[in-house]
Amino acid sequence: MGSGIAQKTAQEQFPVQMVDRELQWVERGQETISTLLGQAVERRIFSEAQVEEIQARITGVVGVENVAANTDLVIEAVFEDFDVKKAVFNTLDEACGEDTILASNTSSLSVNALAKATARPDRFVGLHFFYHPAKNRLVEVIPSELSSDDTIARVEQFCKMLGKVVIVCKDRPGFVVNRFFVPWLNEACLLLEEGVGTTAQIDAVACAAFDIGMGPFALMNLTGPPIALHSTNYLAEQLDTPRYTGAKSLEELVEAGVMWDIDEETECDAEATKIISERLLGQVFAVASQIVAEEICSMEDVDRGAKVGLRWMNGPFEIMNALGLDEAHRMANAYAELAEFDLPPFFAMKAESGHGWEFNFVDVVQTGGVATVRLNRPEAMNALNETLVDQLGAVLDDLNSDNSVTTIVLEGAGKAFVAGADVKFFVDKIRADSFSDIYDFTANGHVVLNKLENSPKTTIALTTGLALGGGLELALACDHRVGTRRSQFRFPETNIGIYPGLGGTQRTVRICGVEAARWAVLAGNFVDSKTAYALGILTHLVEPAEVSATVEAIDKSGKPENKYPCEPRNPEHPVSTFASAFYSDANMPGLLSGSCPEGFDAEDRNVSRQLKSLSRTAPIAMRMASELLDNAVETGENLDAGLALELSNLEDIFATSDALEGLSALIEGRRPTYTNG
């Protein structure tokens, strides 16, 4: 785990010290990282040059006492022994400066107890990275009772910069995911002991019931049966739930030092299938309800943990909705009787209501006058759907009318700000011949973005990750856009058969000028953070550690003097100068017809890249987007008029066969074939 955390940290451009008590273990960690990065090169995830840069950011250190005093964050990842961890933290307290935050990567130990064992409990948190930390996107952040707000915010921001989906949860045994997942593994072992099914049969039924790729026995073989036994015994003790005590079959397997034998015979009779399915589902449903009742985290985060950390298709509460809450409650109640605990009363009340669980994807936290609005749908990269847009609109209404709020900050959970709109929605509506639904969704999007555009508050988009399509349009409606080196932007619409329909053709022109807007919108160029800052797409480009201070400074300074300068911030930037010449008014007729502008060499690398990008767009979409960009110039300061033109052209673009082809191809992971129809 330690080397994996170090690897991921270095991959995200942070310098990292990898510390162990002996040189051989430091070298072993470096060898492990080298092997994994070598595999990444073979799979073309990284180039050899990138791997060299990553490894150069990792410094091997022998001895905890030799950690650099100015280290910002130390993540301890020794084995789960309280006394050993305490000794490590005692040494770190002496070696590190007073501002250093200490964190323990633990899956079981009490964070509150660990915090009290340090000399800096206010600068201590628990972290639970999931295996493998360089690949799994989930991390649970567990504040102690004494953790300061600044510590929690800084650690959460760091985890976000690693591209992690963060669940902040209460310090309770098992935290979130292991609380329901570990007993699930043990319950499978109990079913095996009872003779209900074989390992292969139980795995097969579990995969079907939960829509997952690996059953409990295959998963234990992957992570190691001893870990499952240790974890379930710990929960049994800490939660005083004997049902969780490691099954005899699991205990004997661990004592023998072998893995589960899983044959290929997966078929079992209907009665056995029902018992296995309902027992495993009921266990998860019952424990998931306990997690929410104990306020460890929200039901949305429980589902998020299952989908991101365990890679389940749906979370426990989503599965309950699909089955029906009355059935889900029956299964959960049956398991609760076996485990000898009571279900939380709210579960029965909800089941009797006849309604499913209702999910919230927009969270608000207010500190002083700053209200931070988090779009919390990271498993879908915060893609805009009807529910999220409606909830965001309601939140903005409340904040805009709240006199205690001076600044509204938008941020996305996970590695993305917002990765566009929910494409499947568009495909389904086109195929159902329901354009009116597409129009209503887009028109409502305009209404919500205008609540930012016309807000009496200072509005900020924290675009510290990926912002695509509708996500970029959402950010452009804000007064300020704060980014870091991980910020990346793109308008992919013309490549998927449509045009930006939430103000992208209008606000982009007003921010950075029509030529730069053509470069961004028509060709769908990726925009890195430095280019975005030069064009004005980003108003602030800062180091990750400076994000909070930047928000505070903006809150004090208020709205910008000129939100729409209609020209790049840096006209001398290479992209600014190229766009000004290549995408000039005079060159547009030729570019729209597929020819290289006069005076440009089609063999030039930059020119050929643009021509290639333009050739891959849907012709009708590119033409309509170009006209709308021109309309932005014509309508000038009348932004509402330009936005109205975007909406008025929607039916024409979504009626094309190219729109369905482009959107479908994106979902299916293939290159579209456009017929100009």
CB 483 within 8 A of CB 529: yes
Encoded tokens for 450: 């205008």
DSSP secondary structure of 201-269: HHHHHHHHHHT-SS-HHHHHHHH-HHHHHHHHHHHHHHTT-GGGSPPHHHHHHHHHT------S-----
Instruction: Enumerate residues 6+ apart whose C-beta is below 8 A from 38.
Output: 51
Encoded tokens for 357: 């669980």
Spatial distance between the Cα atoms of 548 and 531, rounded to a whole number of angstroms: 22
CB 5 within 8 A of CB 75: yes
Amino acid sitting at position 240: D
Spatial distance between the Cα atoms of 425 and 504, rounded to a whole number of angstroms: 20
Amino acid sitting at position 576: S
Encoded tokens for 11: 């991959």
Question: Which among 335, 332, 299 has a CA at the least distance from the CA of 318?
Answer: 299
CB 510 within 8 A of CB 566: yes
Instruction: Enumerate residues 6+ apart whose C-beta is below 8 A from 53.
Output: none
Tell me the C-alpha to C-alpha distance, in Å, between residue 281 and each of 183, 185, 315.
11, 12, 11
Strand duo 458-462 + 466-468: pairing = unpaired
Spatial distance between the Cα atoms of 448 and 437, rounded to a whole number of angstroms: 16
Encoded tokens for 346: 């709210």
Question: Nearest 5°: CA angle at 59, between 53 and 61?
Answer: 165
Spatial distance between the Cα atoms of 215 and 410, rounded to a whole number of angstroms: 38
Spatial distance between the Cα atoms of 276 and 312, rounded to a whole number of angstroms: 18
Q: What is the C-alpha end-to-end distance of the chain, expressed in Å?
A: 53
412: which strand partners? 375
546: which strand partners? none
Catalytic residues: 107, 128, 140, 178
Spatial distance between the Cα atoms of 67 and 95, rounded to a whole number of angstroms: 6
Q: Which residues of 489-515 are buried (b: 16+ CB within 10 A; e: fewer)?
A: bbbbbbbbbbbbbbbbbbbbbbbbbbb
Question: Nearest 5°: CA angle at 646, between 475 and 477?
Answer: 15
CB 165 within 8 A of CB 379: yes
Question: Which among 74, 41, 48 has a CA at the least distance from the CA of 155?
Answer: 74
Length in residues, the chain: 677
Q: Is 274 helix (H, G, I), strand (E, B) or coil?
A: helix
Spatial distance between the Cα atoms of 603 and 545, rounded to a whole number of angstroms: 42
Spatial distance between the Cα atoms of 65 and 489, rounded to a whole number of angstroms: 42
Q: Which residues of 594-607 are buried (b: 16+ CB within 10 A; e: fewer)?
A: eebbeebeeeeeeb
Encoded tokens for 203: 């795995």
**Element at 288 (helix H, strand E):** helix 270-293
Encoded tokens for 533: 């800052």
